[in-house]
Amino acid sequence: MQGAQLALDPRDARRLAAVYWDDRRDTRDTCSIAVSSDGGGTWTSRAFAGAGSGNPLPSGMTLCRNAVVAFGPDQTLYAGYEVARPSGFAQVELTSSTDRGATFTPPVLVDPGVAGGGDLDPTIAAGRRAGEVYVSFQRYTADAGHADVYVVASTDAGVTVSAPASVSPPEQNAAGSRASLAVGRGGALYVAWIDGSAVDLDAGGGIASIEVAASGDGGLSFGSPHTVAAVPGGCGPNDDCGNRYPAVAIVSPAAGRLVAAWNGAAYPDASRIAVARSADGGRRWTTATTLAPLAGTADRDQFAPDLAAAPDGRVDLAFLDRARDADVGLQDVEHAHSLDGGKTFSRPLVLDDVPSDTQRGDFAAAVSVGSSNAAAAAAWVDGRRGNTGDPATDVVFAARPDSQAPTPPLVRGALVVRSGRAVAYRLSSSDAFTPAAALRFLCAFDGASLRPCARRFSLRLAPGRHTLRARAVDGAGNRSTLTRVAVRALPAISRPR
């Protein structure tokens, strides 16, 4: 198996989809999708493109690969994929489903006039409005030595697409690393990619740059790119890049705010995941911070990052780690999350119970992450089930649910008040998985039932002793223990006439 790119339905986090393909000789003409309606507990798989599906490959194309998937805000499911000839020429198709992945529309070629080496490495993102979907891809020259990033847009659920818009300048070279797409909360479209034009693959060495460009017109045109960071190309002599060649992911957790993550290292150092942020739509970026390796493990590669943002603003980061490898091909899948827009991340947590053995099957190492307010989910290809004599790979899914309640609310406000006068109270809490600004509160005075209340509210109290009760509720619905605060309301002061 290859791929395992994951998507979560923004309107129903129990609905998930993962796309993959099998590159064995007798099945490499098929791309498949697995769908779940119970949060990943059970899955149903079927072909959606190529042999065994209702969408045959174009004439002369015998390979289906590099499938990607996204859910639209109206629950439409979008899928893109490469169709290719054995000679190497490839194109990218886009299709959609409105019946939970049971059937897909006839595909459309996103770049029908391409020549030379063709189009490779698609990525996909759904817009904020129903029917909006974007596909990025790399257009290669005939000798596959140079690639440029392009994007197409659709506003009719993929029935038609715009003319390809150029994203990367022609003097750059995006070959060797797939671009990443993000749609901002305000509707802006962002593309991140690796410019490797200054990396010398033959002699080794050189610097790659992390680039980001934005579109304010729905992907029809893009502004000049901005450099996020310059990083070592990671390649040694004779194209020995390994896991050190950079790969980038980008996400927009709030309007105008971006988080980028990438891996990189100077040959032969171990690759590390780095993160940077932008608060102005990608024009300026913070200095990168680097994730530390797992405590007590050897200094080995972190690579293949992926990012997703939950509706409440939490940012999830998944990546692969060779920390437990002893030069026998073992790799783990790790997850970390940020509650402050990517400024800091939690200590990474290993999602697999047993490391995947990359020598038990021929597959490209990758992980995909998806986010809901209640959980972070990941999918990847795993080789643990096979052995060297009988390689086998599987698409594996794991979810990290939010099972911890928020802290009891802290109540700020006067404890002795004058009846008849408005008194204000402020509630605050913290949670391990929900940003503080996204927490909700329930409150009531005396014997009244708890009801939703704002984090800052005011009221007037009758004379006497009262009890304010409050709970905090996180994005998964976990409720804190009850906070009780005694308040005394003194009689109103009578004024002489």
> What percent of the chain shows pLDDT beyond 70?
95
Plot region of 109 (φ>0 → left; ψ -120 to 50 → alpha; else → beta)? beta
Q: Which is nearest to 32 in space by CA: 74, 69, 76, 58?
A: 69
Residue 388 pLDDT greater than 90, yes or no: no
Q: Which is nearest to 394 in space by CA: 404, 384, 403, 402?
A: 384
- CA distances 102 to 34, 44, 355, Å, are 10, 10, 33
Q: Could you tell me the maximum CA-CA distance found in the chain, to the nearest angstrom? A: 100
128/72 Cα distance (integer angstroms) = 8
Amino acid letter, residue 123: T
Structural contact between residues 480 and 429, judged by C-beta atoms closer than 8 angstroms: yes
pTM: 0.94
Of 230-239, 325-334, 419-428, which gets the smallest average pLDDT?
Answer: 325-334
| Phi (first) and psi of residue 360, to 5 degrees | -95, 5
Q: Which is nearest to 94 in space by CA: 119, 129, 130, 59?
A: 119
State which of 113-122, 149-158, 379-388 shows the largest mean pLDDT.
149-158
Q: Specify the 3-state DSSP secondary structure of 48.
A: strand
What is the dihedral sign for C-alpha 52, 53, 56, 60? negative
pLDDT at position 362 is 67
pLDDT at position 497 is 62
pLDDT at position 495 is 65
- Compute the average pLDDT of residues 296-302: 73
389/143 Cα distance (integer angstroms) = 35
**Domains along the chain with CATH numbers:** 2-401 (2.120.10.10), 410-490 (2.60.40.10)
Which of the 8 DSSP states describes residue 280? S
Strand 483-490 vs strand 416-418: parallel, antiparallel, or unpaired?
parallel
- CA distances 350 to 196, 332, 336, 383, 404, Å, are 31, 7, 9, 16, 18
CA angle 473, 478, 480 (to 5 degrees): 60
pLDDT at position 186 is 86
281/301 Cα distance (integer angstroms) = 30
pLDDT at position 238 is 81
Under the banding of pLDDT at 50, 70 and 90, the label for residue 129 is very high
61/357 Cα distance (integer angstroms) = 32
Radius of gyration over alpha carbons of the chain, in Å?
26
Structural contact between residues 304 and 316, judged by C-beta atoms closer than 8 angstroms: no
Q: Specify the 3-state DSSP secondary structure of 244.
A: helix
pLDDT tens digit sequence for 362-387: 677 889 999 999 999 999 998 777 66
- CA distances 302 to 137, 245, 291, 355, Å, are 25, 11, 9, 14
Under the banding of pLDDT at 50, 70 and 90, the label for residue 14 is very high
